[in-house]
Amino acid sequence: MPSDQWPPLSPMQTGLRGRCPRCGQGHLFDGFLKLRPKCEVCGLDYSFADPADGPAFFVMMFVCIPAVAFALWLEIAYQPPFWIHLVTTLPLVLLTCIPPLQPLKGWLVASQFFYKAEEGRLARPKEADKSA
């Protein structure tokens, strides 16, 4: 199937499941957060993808801050020994911060493909300047 005839797939559906944003069949990740070089089904090159620190930012803002707030509340309200924090707060932070990283990264990569996001430029490319 030519690249312009692939049906548009929702970035939410493909990205959150870690699937190729073009065909929805191939895998996006090679490991936990490492992107594959290309899709094993349709051959889409994933070099366009650069989610940068987006997944970490979303996790920090929506998950880490409440988890740290819980740790502070626990400390202020009860002043427990240090081992209580190790048993309660550390697992809370780890279990709420690590698992969402892959789905968020997949969603950001799929959104970049779906919306044809590119690096910002301050000037037009030289080819466009010559034709204008």
Q: Name, in order, each residue with C-beta under 8 angstroms of 110's C-beta and a sequence gap of 6 or more.
A: 9, 11, 12, 14, 15, 21, 28
Kindly tell me the sign of the dihedral angle through the C-alpha atoms of 61, 62, 64, 65: positive
Give residue 123's pLDDT: 77
Residues of the chain with pLDDT under 70: 1-4, 125, 127-132
Give residue 84's pLDDT: 96
Give residue 118's pLDDT: 84
Give residue 121's pLDDT: 80
pTM: 0.82
Give residue 131's pLDDT: 58
Give residue 129's pLDDT: 55
CA–CA distance from 30 to each of 33, 46, 128 (Å)?
A: 7, 12, 37
